Amino acid sequence: MKRIITILLLLMILGVEVSKADEGMWFLMSIKRLNQRDMEKMGLQLTAEEIYSINNSSLKDAIVQFNGGCTAELISKDALVLTNHHCGYDAIAELSTPEANYLKNGYWAASKDKELKPKSLYVRFFVRMDDVSKRILAKVNPQMTEAERDKSIADEIAIIEKENNEGGKYTVSVRSFFQGNEFYYFVYQDFKDVRFVGTPPESIGKFGGDTDNWEWPRQTGDFSMFRIYADANGNPAEYSVNNVPLKPKKHLSVNIGGVKENDFAMILGYPGRTNRWMPAGGIEQNVKFAYPAWVEGSKVGMDNMKKYMVQSDKLNLIYASKYAGVANYWKNRQGMIDALTKFGTAKSKAEQEAKFNDWANKPENKAKYGNVIEKINAYYKLTNEKARHDNYLQQLVRTSAYGFISRGFGKQLMNYSSADVAGREKMKPEMENEIKSFFTELHIPAEKDILKAQLALYATKSKGFPLAPSVITIANDVDNYVNSVFTLSIFTSEERLMAFLNAPSKGLLTNDPIFALSNDLLTHLTAKTDELTKAQNDFLSSFRLLVEGLRESKLAPIQYPDANSTLRLTYGKVRALPADKRNDAKINNYTTMESMVKKYKAGDAEFDLPARLLELYKQKDFGRYVDAKGYMPVCFLTDNDITGGNSGSPVLNGKGQLIGLAFDGNIEAMAGDVIFDKKLQRTINVDIRYVLWIIEKYANAKHIVDEMDVVTN
């Protein structure tokens, strides 16, 4: 025992890391029961009630879901909102023009009346949640098919949502957890008048581009700011010049005291999707069939967008947001392939499932669980080639403006055609605006090339599963086919679409070559044979039983449910990765402005920097944001458990003060959505000191910083 103690003391003296990352994305209502004591030992100074309370203001009231896909936090009494630059990307691009290019050059509203309103942007406040598992599960039984089970659950969910929405005041969502073994309802309040306050130029907000994405060391100022507006009574309201900044129940104070190794760090946010319970067959399917097709299809779309984006600022603005979204997942999926393969994740899952199968076939368990693994594996064997096919087709639909046309804009036109004369007259102004908007968001030559390339890729690579009927006929002549349909379709001409509004015809729409192609592709993508329907039914019920059995048998120690865009808390520490010669920091848990300037390449699309930033760096004009050790901080690492959707989440110290902004993960732990790596899992965060330095020193927008409660301890 003395020898063990001596070794541990020696490790501590030498600074060797003996801590480990804390796995889990936890419900706020469970913190007191499951996590509070552990968090207090690590440095939490708040009570569970100060984090989540129904009756009093708490940290949850300062955190919002941002536009359905990211997280943001309130940092002033006037509802100033901080999120990532890439989360605000759509809105910033929409508001930009070649003459006033906020995406490229940045923007800071000099006053509240200069804040800009995007067409569609909202934030969602979390009000409360509760467990309704017993109530919902009482409505189902093992004899039901999955379709029957889903209907019974949906009927009960509709009742629960109506009971809790207070006459439409709130949005209520009942969500499934642990693969349908538990259910909780969530009550939200949405605010739709959200205005753009400011952002740094893209050379700061996206510094490093695709090259540095998912990489450490990192020097990206990935942040942007917005403000929530409400009516005079503080209620949600559509945009109006009479609206006023919301007075939130809670906003975060901002701590510029800095961070150091092993400081406590917690993150609240809306992680989008993890698959920690995914069976071995699903992992194998992703690695060998689905993700390679996703990666290849994404790259084809990106290459054809980029070909036009570099031609002018106007074309760059049209495709910047779509390109960024595709590029992000392109690198993510390749990283997943590499990480899952390197760590043999499917093999370790298969070993767990073999143990489960032994337990499942014990006499007392066999009737319920005995054939679970067999049915799961049969499903994946049946759908491997379909997964490859579907991912090629999905990337076609995702990167081409015309791939989804029959279900999107085309469907609106179909509804217009079905209306009577009075209905069409009422709908016509909105449809005219939709048509104009549609053509401002695409470039016909680019769309033609994207569709050609994606159809050719799909036709040649998706051979293990039947192609969509329309593609079979044109597979050997894709170029001429696309040229022809672009000449004939009403969807490639604003004038033809406007004329259609005056003489609408369902038949014309149905027979339009682009509408017909899109309809055929999407119909084929969603079609199911009887064999597939049965296998899917068996799989869904078996997967649910697998998760139930793994929890019952204690073979899986996971206590938290997979992420599904509901508010979660994750906690850990500021924690370094092993020393890396690419980082000049003394401890590899932070980066400095010096290391950023070393990456600077004048005129480079990914590594250029503004002249003003370089001049401020040369003068060492860092003000109160300089670290005590003399460097200007940019980013830092924690070992929190996050995933997509956590982008923009606040990184908080033990007092609940804002110390950083989560924006990425490290590629070494890219398998994190499936299996948590306690040694390598890291969250990459923008240091709040760099955020404030950019606003105050670089942008001369000190009035924005003056809104915040800035503290140093």
**Contact between residue 467 and residue 459 where contact means Cβ atoms under 8 Å apart:** yes
Same-domain check for residues 387 and 297 = yes
Backbone angles phi, psi at 574, to 5 degrees: -65, 125
Active-site residue flag, 647: yes
pLDDT of 278 strictly over 50: yes
Classify residue 22: in a domain, yes or no. Answer: no
Residue 670 pLDDT level (bands cut at 50, 70, 90): confident
Distance CA 574, CA 10 (A): 21
Share of residues in the chain with pLDDT > 70 (%): 97
Same-domain check for residues 186 and 310 = no
Same-domain check for residues 569 and 521 = no
Among 22, 212, 222, 263, the active-site one is 222
- Residue reference for tokens 């760096």: 617
Classify residue 11: in a domain, yes or no. Answer: no
Classify residue 156: in a domain, yes or no. Answer: yes
Quick one: which of 194, 206, 209, 203 has its CA closest to 85? 206
**Contact between residue 259 and residue 660 where contact means Cβ atoms under 8 Å apart:** yes
Same-domain check for residues 90 and 46 = yes
Backbone angles phi, psi at 265, to 5 degrees: -145, 130
Specify the pLDDT at position 713.
87
pLDDT of 597 strictly over 70: yes
CB neighbour burial string for 239-258, b if at least 16 within 10 angstroms, e if fewer: eeeebbbbebebbbebbbbb
162-171 pLDDT, tens digit each: 999 999 999 9
Specify the pLDDT at position 431.
95
Q: If residue 568 lies in a helix (H) or strand (E), which one and from where to where?
A: strand 568-573
Q: Give the residue from 169, 191, 213 where a domain finishes.
A: 191
Q: What is the DSSP string of 180-235?
A: GTEEEEEEEEEE-EEEEEEE--HHHHTTTHHHHTT-SS------EEEEEEE-TTS-
Same-domain check for residues 117 and 128 = no
Q: For the chain, how are helix, strand and coil distributed in percent, rounded to 5?
A: 50, 15, 35
Tokens for 356, please give them.
């489960």
pLDDT of 172 strictly over 70: yes
**Contact between residue 346 and residue 674 where contact means Cβ atoms under 8 Å apart:** no
Q: What is the DSSP string of 314-340?
A: HHHHHHHHHHHHHHHHHHHHHHHHHHH
Report the chain's mean pLDDT, rounded to a whole number. Answer: 94
Whether residue 217 has a cis bond before it, omega within 30° of 0: yes
Active-site residue flag, 389: no
- Residue reference for tokens 């067999």: 374
Residue 511 identity: N
Distance CA 546, CA 311 (A): 53
Provide mean pLDDT across the span 594-616.
97
Classify residue 545: in a domain, yes or no. Answer: no
Q: If residue 650 lies in a helix (H) or strand (E), which one and from where to where?
A: strand 650-652
Same-domain check for residues 222 and 322 = no
328-374 pLDDT, tens digit each: 889 999 999 999 999 899 999 999 999 999 999 999 999 999 999 99
Provide mean pLDDT across the span 573-577.
97
Specify the pLDDT at position 6.
36
204-245 pLDDT, tens digit each: 999 999 999 999 999 999 999 999 999 999 999 999 999 999
- Residue reference for tokens 């955190």: 63
Specify the pLDDT at position 126.
98
Q: Give the residue from 487, 514, 532 where a domain finishes.
A: 532
Specify the pLDDT at position 114.
98
Classify residue 229: in a domain, yes or no. Answer: yes
Tokens for 576, please give them.
């370094």
Provide mean pLDDT across the span 277-305.
97
87-105 pLDDT, tens digit each: 999 999 999 999 999 999 9
Specify the pLDDT at position 9.
34
pLDDT of 14 strictly over 70: no
**Number of domain units in the chain:** 3
Distance CA 267, CA 653 (A): 9
Identify the three-state secondary structure at position 53. coil
Tokens for 88, please give them.
């605000």
Distance CA 127, CA 186 (A): 8
Same-domain check for residues 151 and 209 = no
Distances in Å between the Cα of 167 and the Cα atoms of 163, 164, 170, 172 are: 9, 8, 8, 11
Collect all residues with Cβ–Cβ distance below 8 Å to 296 and sequence separation of at least 6: 392, 395, 457, 461
Same-domain check for residues 370 and 305 = yes
Active-site residue flag, 251: no
Same-domain check for residues 238 and 361 = no
Same-domain check for residues 443 and 519 = yes
193-215 pLDDT, tens digit each: 999 999 999 999 999 999 999 99
What CATH number corresponds to the domain at position 214?
Answer: 2.40.10.120
Classify residue 520: in a domain, yes or no. Answer: yes
Classify residue 346: in a domain, yes or no. Answer: yes
Q: Give the residue from 144, 173, 191 where a domain finishes.
A: 191
Among 647, 649, 673, 677, the active-site one is 647
Ramachandran region of residue 574, left (φ > 0), alpha (ψ -120 to 50) or beta? beta
Classify residue 211: in a domain, yes or no. Answer: yes
Provide mean pLDDT across the span 608-634.
97
Same-domain check for residues 487 and 599 = no
Q: What is the DSSP string of 601-649?
A: -TT-TTT---HHHHHHHHHT--GGGS-TTS--EEEEEE-----TT-TTP
376-432 pLDDT, tens digit each: 999 999 999 999 999 999 999 999 999 999 999 999 999 999 999 999 999 999 999
Among 22, 58, 85, 86, the active-site one is 86
Which residue range forms the structural domain that includes residue 145? 124-191
Ramachandran region of residue 482, left (φ > 0), alpha (ψ -120 to 50) or beta? alpha
CB neighbour burial string for 660-674, b if at least 16 within 10 angstroms, e if fewer: bbbbbbbbbbbbbbb
**Contact between residue 352 and residue 556 where contact means Cβ atoms under 8 Å apart:** yes
Same-domain check for residues 116 and 259 = yes
Specify the pLDDT at position 21.
60
pLDDT of 625 strictly over 50: yes
Backbone angles phi, psi at 518, to 5 degrees: -60, -45
Give the count of beta carbons closer than 10 Å to the beta carbon of residue 14.
7
